[in-house]
Amino acid sequence: MTNIEKITKETAIEAVRAAAFEVTDEERSDYGRKLIHCFTGFLGADWDLEEVEREIQRAQVVAWNRGRLFGHQLAVQDADGKVWSFDVKAPESPAEVKA
């Protein structure tokens, strides 16, 4: 898979912080929370930013997956091999691999 580029956990955390959105609709129960969308398989959900950061810290592999559709290009793999794809677009040009 040539579209995969391992990155540092620090780079991933910076990227999710920049991509997270704050819920501004006061009518919603999650008002004021910072969220980021995630796909795993065919299921999608909004995650709290803090939860995403914890998963990145525990991850075995963190990488850009430029081949992923719909902009969910931040891949996070845990020790059991489960992969989450977060709604973060990879930079246009590959950075130097630091992982």
pLDDT digits (tens, 9 = 90+) for 23-74: 999 998 989 999 999 988 778 899 999 999 999 999 999 999 987 667 899 9
Res 2: pLDDT: 52
- Is 71 a member of any domain? yes
Q: In which domain, by residue range, is 68 found? A: 9-23+32-86
- Is 95 a member of any domain? no
**Structure tokens that stand for 33 in this block:** 């929370």
- Is 40 a member of any domain? yes
Res 4: pLDDT: 86
- Is 81 a member of any domain? yes
Res 8: pLDDT: 97
- Is 2 a member of any domain? no
- Is 65 a member of any domain? yes
Overall domain count for the chain = 1
- Is 77 a member of any domain? yes
Q: Helix 9-19 crosses helix 49-58 at what angle (to 10 degrees)?
A: 170
Give whichever of 11-15, 40-44, 79-83 has the largest mean pLDDT. 11-15
